[in-house]
A and B are shown apart, each in its own frame.
Chain A
Amino acid sequence: MSAVSGLLPTRSGSGFGRLGRVAGSPLLRLIVKRVVMAIPILFGVSVLTFWVLSLIPGDPARAMLGMNATDQQVEALRQQYGLDKSGPARYWDWLTGALHGDLGISMVSSQSMSSMLGDRWAVTAELVVLSFIVSLGVAVPVALLAARWPGGLFDRVSMVCSMTGLAVANYVLALLLVLVFAVELGWLPAIGYVHISDGIGGNLKSMILPTLAMAIPLFCFYTRFLRGDIVDQMQGEDYVDTARAKGVGPWRVLWSHAFRNSSFGLITIVGLNIGTLVGGTVIIEQIFALPGLGQLLLQGVNTRDTVVVQDLVIIFAAIAVLANLLVDVLYAVLDPRIRYGSH
Chain B
Amino acid sequence: MAVIDASSAQLESAVVAAGAKPRGRWRAWMRTWIPAGTVIFILAICFLGPTVLPIPGATGGDVLESGQGPFSPGHLLGTDSNGNDVLSRLLSGGQASLLIGISVNVIGIVIGGTIGAVSAYVGGLFDTIVMRLLDVLIAFPSLVLTLAVAQSLGPSKRNTIFALAFFSVPAVARIARSSTLRLREMPFMQAAQLCGSPTWRILLRHVAPNVAPQLISFAALGMGIVIVTEGALSFLGLGIPAPAPSWGNMIFDGQQSMSATPLEVVWPSIALLVTVLAFNQLGENLRARWSGR
| B144 interface hit (Cβ, 8 Å) | yes
Instruction: Considering the complex, give the chain B residue whose CB is closest to the CB of A183.
Output: B259
Q: Which of B148, B228, B272 contacts A49 (CB 8 A)?
A: B148
Cβ contact within 8 Å between A55 and B153:
yes
Residues of B within 8 A of A276 (CB): 141-142
CA distance A337 to B135 in the complex (A): 26
Most buried by A among B149, B236, B238: B236
CA distance A317 to B166 in the complex (A): 14
| A178 interface hit (Cβ, 8 Å) | yes
Cβ contact within 8 Å between B231 and A171:
yes
Cβ contact within 8 Å between B136 and A44:
yes
Number of interface residues of A (CB under 8 A): 47
A172 to chain B, nearest CB (A): 4
Question: What are the interface flags for A267-283 relative to B under an 8 Å C-beta threshold, 1 for contact and 0 otherwise?
Answer: 00000000110111011
| B175 interface hit (Cβ, 8 Å) | no
Cβ contact within 8 Å between B277 and A48:
no
| B246 interface hit (Cβ, 8 Å) | no
| A40 interface hit (Cβ, 8 Å) | yes
Residues of B within 8 A of A172 (CB): 251, 269, 272-273
With contact pairs A286-B236, A298-B236 given, residues A168 and B144 touching in the complex (Cβ less than 8 Å): no
With contact pairs A172-B273, A313-B148, A316-B141 given, residues A44 and B236 touching in the complex (Cβ less than 8 Å): no
One of A107-115, A137-145, A159-167, A256-264 at the interface: A159-167
Cβ contact within 8 Å between B139 and A317:
yes
Instruction: Considering the complex, give the chain B residue whose CB is closest to the CB of A49.
Output: B148
Cβ contact within 8 Å between A171 and B152:
no
Question: What are the interface flags for B120-158 relative to A under an 8 Å C-beta threshold, 1 for contact and 0 otherwise?
Answer: 000000000000110111011111110111111110000
A48 to chain B, nearest CB (A): 6
CA distance A55 to B142 in the complex (A): 19
Interface size class of B (residues with CB under 8 A): 35 or more
Cβ contact within 8 Å between A313 and B136:
no
Cβ contact within 8 Å between B277 and A282:
no
Residues of A within 8 A of B119 (CB): none
| A175 interface hit (Cβ, 8 Å) | yes
- Binding site secondary structure of chain B: helix
- Binding site secondary structure of chain A: helix
Cβ contact within 8 Å between B136 and A55:
no
Residues of A within 8 A of B237 (CB): 302
With contact pairs A44-B132, A183-B259 given, residues A52 and B143 touching in the complex (Cβ less than 8 Å): no
Cβ contact within 8 Å between A309 and B251:
no
Residues of A within 8 A of B147 (CB): 282, 297-298, 301, 309, 313
B228 to chain A, nearest CB (A): 4
Q: Which residues of A are in contact with B by a Cβ distance under 8 Å?
A: 40-41, 44-45, 48-49, 52-57, 163-164, 166-169, 171-172, 175-176, 178-179, 183, 275-276, 278-280, 282-283, 286-287, 297-298, 301-302, 304, 309-310, 312-313, 316-317, 320-321
Q: Would you give 23 A-B contacts (Cβ < 8 Å), ordered by A?
A: A41-B139, A44-B135, A44-B136, A48-B140, A52-B149, A53-B152, A55-B152, A55-B153, A163-B281, A167-B280, A168-B276, A169-B273, A178-B258, A179-B259, A278-B141, A279-B141, A282-B236, A283-B232, A297-B144, A298-B236, A301-B147, A301-B150, A304-B151
